[in-house]
């Protein structure tokens, strides 16, 4: 793999983590374990079509697993590494909260 491809893949990985709905989904799965889409909808307060759309992204980026259980698809965090990434980001954000919230580059991006 070329360095440019690896850098692009990393950018896409962090983009997958940068969406509020996808973060809500990941934290719900981390807290509750395996969940079907309807349970994820209840936990996040989002509608089914939006959750299904975001689950596709999370699955493609290797953040969640799927398992069929009868007529339901059960989603779960892919592995412990993903849970660790969420835990590490929690620690970092708590330590750097003021700086992160005052970052004009990120804040201006969110306004456009």
Which residues on adjacent β-strands are paired with residue 65?
76
**Rg, Å, the chain Cα set:** 15
What are the tens digits of pLDDT across the range 50-83? 999 999 999 999 999 999 999 999 999 999 999 9
Encoded tokens for 107 = 């804040």
Which residues on adjacent β-strands are paired with residue 53?
none
Report how many domains make up the chain.
1
Share the mean pLDDT of the chain.
93
- In contact, 44 and 20? CB cutoff 8 Å: no
Encoded tokens for 55 = 């689950």
This prediction has a pTM of: 0.88
What is the pLDDT at residue 106? 81
CA torsion angle 94 9 4 99 (round to 10): -10
What is the pLDDT at residue 99? 94
What CATH number does the domain containing 97 carry?
Answer: 1.10.10.10
Residue among 23, 109, 36 at smallest CA distance from 66? 36
> Which structural domain range is residue 16 located in?
3-111
For the beta carbon of residue 25, count every other beta carbon within 10 angstroms.
Answer: 28
């Amino acid at each position: 793999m070329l360095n440019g491809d690896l850098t692009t893949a990393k950018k896409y990985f962090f983009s997958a983590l940068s969406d509020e709905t996808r973060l809500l989904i990941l934290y719900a799965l981390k807290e509750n374990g395996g969940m079907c889409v309807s349970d994820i909808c209840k936990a996040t307060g989002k509608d089914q079509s939006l959750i299904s759309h975001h689950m596709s992204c999370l699955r493609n980026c290797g953040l969640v697993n799927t398992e069929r259980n009868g007529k339901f698809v059960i989603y779960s965090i892919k592995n412990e590494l993903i849970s660790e990434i969420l835990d590490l980001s929690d620690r970092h954000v708590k330590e750097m909260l003021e700086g992160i919230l005052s970052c004009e580059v990120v804040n201006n991006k969110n306004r456009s």
